[in-house]
Structure 1
Amino acid sequence: MDGAWSVPTPWTDAARSSARGVSPELASGLAAALPLPRRRTRPALATQLDLAVGTPESDVARLKAHVRDSARNEPGVYLMRGAHGEVLYVGKSTQVRTRLLSYFRLPWPEHRHARLLRETSRIEWEPLPSEFAALLREVRLIRAHLPRYNVRSARPLDKWWVITIARGPAPRLRIQRASAAARSRDVAQVIGPFASRRPLQDALRVLNDALGLRDCSDRVPMHTNDSAELFEQAHPALQRTPGCHRYETRRCLGPCIGATSEYAYRAQLTRAKAVLEGRDDTPHQHLVREMTVASAALSYERAGWLRDRLTALQEFDAQLSRVREALTRPSFVYAVPGRDGDDRLYLVRHGRVMAEARCGDPHAVNALQAQEINAVQPPSGAMVDQLDELLLVESWFRGRNGADALVADTVVGALEKLAMHVQTAGPLATTNSHYERKTPPEIA
């Protein structure tokens, strides 16, 4: 035990001295006279945390005093930032002061919103003239920062599914969360959004079987036969025997075993895009013909199986029709009465807000009118970076807010409707109490 640190005690030294022929009394006296060696001690962790982040109770009290003294009950968005300036949460309300103060009344540590406050070092808010402006600003801030506390209810992309087509020699039709597609870098086209994954799986299985597209994992390497011809001598491993079950049953072109060329596979992928865009119904007609033949041959089990596959495609096509209707919606101008006379115009093209202007700013209104004249080609698929805005516009005009929306085909028409609305209803109330939410937003 040489070199080990120990605290000498009368008992241990007396025992050792007795073994060496020293009396216990002398050993006790030596132990009392010798100084105790100092142990290596670590600083207290609580002290380090207190120096780093301060006392949570005092920080929360400081934030509450700041909100109570500075915030106002008006529409707007608010951001909660962490110790390093990162955005933890983005929210919106038509009464910002009341919403923020409601966070401080929640029990800690039981409630997750109260735990969020303990991680917050700064609260910022931005007043906006209307609820629509606040919703639009919230969506764009969440898209820009992707805060980790904004999940499920406050991050609309997490609740929806899309079909993506990646880049590469033999891409497949892939079902992804809209949020995952937004973060992906290899996505070439997006179709959606859809509310459920299961109908997409059934329909894409039928579509892949009809057109011979692969549905295997992205980890499976692709070896088209045109690349195999180029590298046949250098890579003899590319000459593989068929091992794909879907290829052997004639439901896949077999790009993984060199059974097709990249050109032939992309030709079928182009047909799949045409089906998704509503320009081709060949798979539907093929299933109808096969079902008719099976019924005539009294093969009712096969006819029923084909009927189920046709039903899956038809239901899928109905969902695609709703998506295409939102994407191909003609442009219109939406006038929104604002707080304290801050009325605004929004140019909506194909389900997305392209530009906005304050009605009190003549230069901004003229610029919006000039942009309205420019023709924009309707997109064939949803742009994943603006999918959240598409969802926002769809839900806004489909719900109670769309019934009395001041919508017109032109900027001039929207201004005329806004003027008539102001004369009839008068300016907006300063409290906007009609849109007040009684509970804080859900955080999961």
Structure 2
Amino acid sequence: MCPVPARSGAAPRQASLAELGRPLADLTFVVVDLETTGGSPATSEITEIGAVKVRGGQVLGEMSSLVRASTPIPAVVSVLTGITDSMLATAPTLDEVVPTFLEFSRGAVLVAHNAAFDLGFLRAAAQACGYPVPAWEHLDTVLIARRVVTRDEAPNCRLASLATLFGSPTEPNHRALADARATVAVLHGLFERLGNLGVTTLEDVREYSARVSPAQRRKRHLADDLPTGPGVYVFRDGADRPLYVGTSRSVRSRVRTYFTASEPRSRMAQMVALAERVDAIGCAHALEAEVRELRLIAEHKPPFNRRSRHPERAVYLRLTEEPFPRLSRVRSVGDGVTYLGPFGSTQAAQEAEIALLAAVPLRQCSTRLSPSRPTAACALAELGRCGAPCDGRQGVAEYAEVVGAAREAMSGDPGAVQEALEAHIARLAAEQRYEQAAEVRDRLAGYLRTAARRQRLAALTGIPEMVAAAPTADAGWDLSVIRHGRLVSAATVARGVDPRPWVDAVVSTAETVRPVPGPTPCALVEETERIGRWLAAPGVRLVRLEGEWSWPARGAIRAALRYAT
């Protein structure tokens, strides 16, 4: 688990067609158009199908058929299309036409003008005729035209307007085959424009956005030598400083999108403008990539990453170590102390502190008290919210019982806090003070979430070594070795390979860790939490476990589920 990125890839792997990109000139497209009795496949029927098969700019074949409808065609539709009930009386039924179209379009990329409409009817037709609904790859000429055609060239992106713009030899007239032929001309016109912009593959077309500047697009070559499998990528400027760290299941494909795709985050365009190099680390599987990403962001704090840059800013509530302990908000905690956290902000920690103090009467003054030197009590003692250890009304032994209740609520069973705040919520609701009741409810939910988070972390970081395996899509296994909540080794075992020798290998080559005091003794909090989510995913199996992995039966995890949103 090397922390420094280098220009290196994972083990050699055959890239998929999707990763390499499929040239438009090599693909077969079926351009389809439908005429229907209405706008929804739930209430309307297909009356005509027209389709044209093209490849490399050449027409390979055409298909056209009227379709008999079971209900009369609305008059407005007949006027628009020219299709009448008498024309459909002898037409083939949907059961006869659908298999012909499915065979005609087999293996091709479907194209339609406003594809959502046509595909909706085609999927419903296939299902109605008892066929599995194909997972058609498709393009929508409307969406492409909106990115390529300006208002100065065409007043809108309707088929008639675009057919005129691109000089279609067939005028669209609301008949299926004629409209499909016009859409072919529009498709070829759009492909010609995209080709001039360097968009030459099906993947490029899907990612293309006119908002990507030419300078940004010219940097596509930075992705050429990156690995095609899972990993981490680092954008660097001319001075070799990390600008942005990201992760993907296919590094090359993901990095290419920064130069070709629509990116709603304006700061990413700024980042790409500054980037001069992209480094990558190939990883065994997605979990390893995500962990490496977190570590690199925390180490380098790249300016264009927004999340995970400052794990050191987490806030904790801890019980101080003195004769009369109190709650204190701190940035770090040591070994052997009672704490609650981490919290994402001081405000969240303060809300949890209020919740705990509502149930346990810890002292709230900041003075360091001595059993031998009493001081004057504050107003909280008179209100019954503090036992007043300051003036001697509560001795060390008596106050220790209060501290014990606080420790239990922070690290074990939060029942006392839950009971006290739920009673408060009930009183406020009975008084019809619903907004205040909601505030207390949110405070309780936040407390329980944080207590549950702490218990999950403690359970995982307390395990000296764990080996787990997750099934892959191709029936292999992703192996992870975890020590005290830190990922220390990872590997992927291919389908049909005995994983047992691989388990021995990843354990023997795993990183050695030396726990330090704190809630996550060997890793970042986010890393341990990410590992926990991976372990909870469906199909993940524990292969080896040193020690035990459990949390309190009456702990905060179950209680937090009640307030999960």
**1:67 pairs with 2:201:** no
Residue among 470, 485, 489 paired with 1:356: 489
Distance in 2 between residues matched to 1:322 and 1:343, nearest whole Å = 28
- Alignment match, 2:247: 92
Q: Secondary structure at the match of 2:489?
A: strand
Q: How far did residue 392 of structure 1 move?
A: 0.7
Distance in 2 between residues matched to 1:323 and 1:249, nearest whole Å = 32
Residue among 284, 306, 314 paired with 1:129: 284
1:270/1:147 CA distance change after superposition, 3 Å: farther
Counterpart contact for 2:340–2:450, Cα < 8 Å: no
* Residue correspondence of structure 1 range 153-192 to structure 2 within 5 A: 163-165=316-318, 169=322, 172-173=326-327, 181=331, 184=332, 190-192=339-341
Task: After superposition, give the CA deviation of every residue in 1:160-213 in whole Å (9 maximum; x if it has no partner).
Answer: 98643175657654678xxxx4xx578966534579999976653243244333
Distance in 1 between residues matched to 2:338 and 2:302, nearest whole Å = 25
1:287/1:63 CA distance change after superposition, 3 Å: closer
**1:211 pairs with 2:360:** yes
- Alignment match, 1:424: none
Distance in 2 between residues matched to 1:110 and 1:199, nearest whole Å = 28
- Alignment match, 2:524: 386
Distance in 2 between residues matched to 1:367 and 1:95, nearest whole Å = 23
Q: How far did residue 93 of structure 1 move?
A: 0.8
Distance in 1 between residues matched to 2:441 and 2:229, nearest whole Å = 52
Structure 1 letter corresponding to 2:356 = L
Q: How far did residue 77 of structure 1 move?
A: 0.1
**1:139 pairs with 2:273:** no
Q: How many residues are treated as equivalent by the alignment?
A: 313
Distance in 1 between residues matched to 2:251 and 2:441, nearest whole Å = 51
Distance in 1 between residues matched to 2:509 and 2:243, nearest whole Å = 39
Task: After superposition, give the CA deviation of every residue in 1:340-387 in whole Å (9 maximum; x if it has no partner).
Answer: 99966323467x24532557896982672799xx9x99x995559531
In structure 2, list runs of 5 or more residues that go unmatched.
1-212, 494-499, 547-565
Structure 1 letter corresponding to 2:539 = D
Distance in 1 between residues matched to 2:447 and 2:264, nearest whole Å = 46
Distance in 2 between residues matched to 1:365 and 1:391, nearest whole Å = 25
Distance in 2 between residues matched to 1:146 and 1:248, nearest whole Å = 49
Q: How far did residue 155 of structure 1 move?
A: 5.8
Q: How far did residue 95 of structure 1 move?
A: 1.6
Is the deviation greater in 338-347 or in 70-79? 338-347
Residue among 441, 456, 469 paired with 1:335: 469
Distance in 2 between residues matched to 1:262 and 1:118, nearest whole Å = 64
Structure 1 letter corresponding to 2:408 = A
Q: How far did residue 397 of structure 1 move?
A: 4.0
Q: How far did residue 81 of structure 1 move?
A: 3.0
**1:115 pairs with 2:249:** no
Residue among 479, 484, 502 paired with 1:345: 479
Residue among 518, 528, 538 paired with 1:403: 538
- Alignment match, 2:451: 320
Counterpart contact for 1:209–1:252, Cα < 8 Å: no
Distance in 1 between residues matched to 2:379 and 2:216, nearest whole Å = 62
Is the deviation greater in 255-264 or in 160-169? 255-264
Q: How far did residue 78 of structure 1 move?
A: 0.9
Counterpart contact for 1:224–1:257, Cα < 8 Å: no
Instruction: Determine which structure has more spread, i.e. the larger CA radius of gyration.
Output: 1
Q: Report the RMSD for the aligned CA atoms in angstroms.
A: 5.8
**1:368 pairs with 2:507:** yes
More helix by share: 1
1:166/1:104 CA distance change after superposition, 3 Å: farther
1:101/1:202 CA distance change after superposition, 3 Å: closer
Structure 1 letter corresponding to 2:531 = V
1:118/1:109 CA distance change after superposition, 3 Å: farther
Q: How far did residue 277 of structure 1 move?
A: 1.9
Structure 1 letter corresponding to 2:504 = V
Distance in 2 between residues matched to 1:247 and 1:368, nearest whole Å = 57
Counterpart contact for 1:90–1:142, Cα < 8 Å: yes
1:64/1:258 CA distance change after superposition, 3 Å: farther
Task: After superposition, give the CA deviation of every residue in 1:94-143 in whole Å (9 maximum; x if it has no partner).
Answer: 12122212222368998210111233344211111221221122122223
- Alignment match, 1:275: 409
- Alignment match, 1:222: 367
Q: Secondary structure at the match of 2:260?
A: coil
Counterpart contact for 2:362–2:386, Cα < 8 Å: yes
